[in-house]
């Protein structure tokens, strides 16, 4: 997770400001401690690394947080009357990064999000009433429940949610990493998958590896990774190896089934989201005991 724990939003803003002609948005002001995101914070320190926005990609349904990116999402079986959900990284949680093994459910929240339209303009503001689920164990995700239903949101903003795919990401598929925080799109392909991705105290399973074109920066953490073939969310952006170090903060390493460690400097990663829908039942309600749900269920769950 690019500078997940230590990078401050101020540092992210300064790094991003170094990008030629880039203006740091008001949202880049310092936020909650530990609010930066891995991949987000990571890229933030690479002046000039961010590619130009891709005009063909749509920002509709993405959101900007105070320190990260995210998206308004629905499960494949969600109904229009269900309360909306916003997805971002676990390390974007306003109360700080969850520790390895920690799972947070049904925690009260009053966080707000700026909802974007197709051209990255402001469509409206969304408000949460609780953190439905958050963890940095096995994956790196936070899901917020909103105060309004999808129907209410679409009626007031004209924006429909993005759909989480229930299928595993496909190697070689073209993807767009769409950052609501920076209003930037990173386009590349899925290079492959890491059996285990380790960064500092955290371990993530079956992570998606980008091709080199996706040089994500600080603030992109939590961005939806959209498969351009299906238009659905296939993963959530979360980190990049910054300096070539191995398994340290801001420098994730890959570990295969035999325990061999590989480092890919300058390569970014995302956490797959196809397993999330199985954990949500009627009414967008979280059920970690549902058949097929593999999300960590308690602090006793191992990251291995």
The 10s digit of each residue's pLDDT in 276-285 is: 999 999 999 9
19: pLDDT strictly greater than 70: no
Interatomic CA distance for residues 279 and 67, integer angstroms: 27
* CB contact at 8 A, 253 and 246: yes
| pLDDT of 301 higher than 90 | no
- Does the structure show a pLDDT above 70 at 48? no
Distance CA 1, CA 200 (A): 9
Write the pLDDT tens digit of every residue in 96-123. Answer: 999 999 999 999 999 999 999 999 999 9
Task: Write down the pLDDT at residue 259.
Answer: 97
Architecture of domain 9-58+165-272: Beta Barrel (2.40)
**At residue 50, does pLDDT exceed 50?**
no
Q: How confident is the model at residue 15 (pLDDT cuts 50, 70, 90)?
A: very low
How is the chain split into domains, by residue range?
9-58+165-272, 62-164
The predicted model scores a pTM of 0.84
Average pLDDT, the chain: 85
- For 32-55, what is the mean pLDDT? 34
**For residue 17, pLDDT beyond 80:** no
């Amino acid at each position: 997770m690019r500078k997940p724990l230590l990078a401050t939003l101020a540092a992210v803003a300064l790094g991003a400001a170094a990008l030629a002609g880039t203006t740091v948005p008001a949202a880049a002001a310092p936020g909650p401690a530990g609010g930066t995101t891995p991949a987000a914070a990571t890229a933030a320190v690479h002046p000039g690394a961010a590619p130009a926005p891709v005009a063909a990609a749509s920002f509709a349904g993405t959101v900007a947080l105070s320190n990260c990116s995210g998206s308004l999402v629905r499960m494949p079986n969600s109904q229009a009357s269900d309360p909306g959900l916003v997805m971002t990284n676990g390390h974007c949680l306003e109360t700080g990064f969850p520790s390895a093994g920690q799972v947070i459910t049904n925690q009260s929240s009053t966080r707000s999000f700026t909802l974007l339209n197709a051209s990255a303009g402001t469509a409206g503001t969304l408000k949460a009433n609780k953190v439905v689920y958050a963890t940095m164990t096995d994956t790196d995700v936070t899901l917020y429940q909103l105060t309004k239903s999808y129907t209410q949101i679409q009626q007031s903003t004209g924006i429909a949610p993005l759909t989480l795919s229930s299928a595993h990401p496909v190697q070689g598929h073209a993807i767009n990493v769409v950052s609501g925080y920076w209003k930037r799109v990173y386009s590349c392909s899925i290079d492959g998958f890491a059996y285990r991705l380790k960064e500092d105290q955290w371990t993530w399973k079956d992570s998606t590896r980008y091709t080199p074109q996706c040089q994500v920066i600080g603030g992109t953490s939590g961005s939806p990774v959209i498969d351009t073939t299906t238009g659905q969310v296939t993963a959530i952006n979360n980190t990049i190896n910054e300096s070539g170090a191995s398994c340290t903060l801001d420098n994730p390493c890959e570990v295969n089934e035999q325990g061999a460690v590989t480092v890919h400097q300058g390569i970014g990663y995302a956490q797959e989201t196809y397993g999330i829908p199985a954990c949500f039942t009627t009414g967008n309600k979280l059920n970690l005991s549902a058949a097929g749900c593999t999300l960590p269920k308690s602090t006793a769950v191992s990251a291995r």
